[in-house]
Structure formats: structure tokens, C-alpha cells
Amino acid sequence: MYHSRWRGQVVKSDDAAVRRRYKARFRKRRTVHPIGGTRDYGWGQAMRWGQGRPLGILLAATVALVLAGCASGQLQEEREARINVYPNNYRGELLAALHTYVSDPTNIRDAYVSDPAIRPIGRQNRYAACVRFNARNSDGRYVGSRDVLAVFLEGRFDQFVDPSVGLANPSSQTNTVTELCSQAEYRRFPELEAMKR
């Protein structure tokens, strides 16, 4: 027995009325579902649904993965189309890039350039143009004609692929530039020959 604070009542701890009054707040309420009758609220129903249908869940996950794979192929094609834009001002961009690329940009001889075309660069296809020129080194001597591959990204100059620059695997880059530029149709590039500091 204990003494209650309310109205001076003395009640037994096993009094059924007290238990009903205080436990009623914490009891789960049941609802009547229109299709299946009486159902519980909460996670219990969701967990029971998952336990009864493992094959359905597996099938739904498989379908979601297949659809995600199809969507990634379309996204790759859209990205390639956005990146591979023809460089309309490729000569001007090559002049600006070669001005900082060569040691002495003055008095360049035998300058040629090919029109940009989509070519395989590594594992991707990019617009690229071959540039052939004979520039002077830092001593002021002409080093001979050399070919470099200018790569364009989103219609703008991105980088040069130069086989004479020491890289991790220079033989593969030498072959790439040699193969791609041997098939190119060169045109005179008098703007490069007339470039000044």
C-alpha cells in the first residue's frame, strides 16, 4: 500500500483502476483499415510486409538498378555532345596558347595547322588539331620541325599533346601524335609565323 498525493487516497499498488488509468496513455491504438481489417500503426506493419515478400523486394531492386544503368549511358552521350563543340576560333586560341608554349615565339618558320576533327584521345573522343612548326629554342637556334596535337574541350583550347615532352609513358603518346598527325591535311598558318612577343 502507498499513499496517493491526490485527495488523500490510499490505494494498493495492484489496483486495477490505477493500472488502467496510467497504462492507457501508452497503449498502442488500433485502427480499422478499409481493406484488411484491424491494423497497427508504426513500423511493425512495415516490417511484417518486408518479411513476407523478399522476392518482390529483390525484383524491385533489380529493376531499379537496370533503369539506373540505362540512364547513365544516356547521360554519358549528353555529356559528350556538350563537351565536343566545334572550336570556331581555333586559330586565335592556338596563337594565344603557342605564344606561352614555345621558348621564343618570334620568327617561327614553316607553320602549318590542320582543321579540328574528332579524334580518339586516350579513352575519349575530342576535337583535336595538329600543329607543325619550327621554333627557336632558348639559345636562339632552330630545333627542327615538330608536330603537336592541340586538344579542344567545349569549343576552347584545352591542352597540347607533345611527344617531345618527357611524360610517364612517352612511347604511347609519340605513337598517338604520329598516327593522328600523319593523316591530317595541313594548311599554312601565316599568323603563327608573323607572331611577335
pLDDT at 127: 92
Label residue 115 by pLDDT band (50, 70, 90). Answer: very high
Sorting pLDDT into bands at 50, 70 and 90, what band is 168?
very low
Same domain, 75 and 123: no
What distance lies between CA 91 and its chain's CA centroid? 29
Percent share of the chain, pLDDT over 70: 62
pLDDT greater than 60 at residue 140: yes
Q: What is the mean pLDDT of residues 91-97?
A: 93
Query: Does 7 lie in the same domain as 42?
Result: yes
pLDDT band at residue 150, thresholds of 50, 70 and 90? very high
Same domain, 29 and 94: no
Q: How many CB atoms lie within 10 A of CB 15?
A: 13
Residues 35-56 have pLDDT tens digits of 655 555 555 555 555 555 667 7
Please check whether residues 75 and 124 belong to one and the same domain.
no
- pTM for the full predicted model: 0.58
Average pLDDT (170-188) is: 77
**Confidence band for 172, pLDDT divided at 50, 70 and 90:** low
Whether 100 and 187 share a structural domain: yes
Task: Let me know whether 94 and 183 are in one domain.
Answer: yes
Same domain, 95 and 186: yes
Domain extent, residue 64, equals: 53-83
Considering the domain architecture, whether residues 73 and 149 belong to the same structural domain is answered as no
pLDDT for position 83 = 84
Domain count along the chain: 3
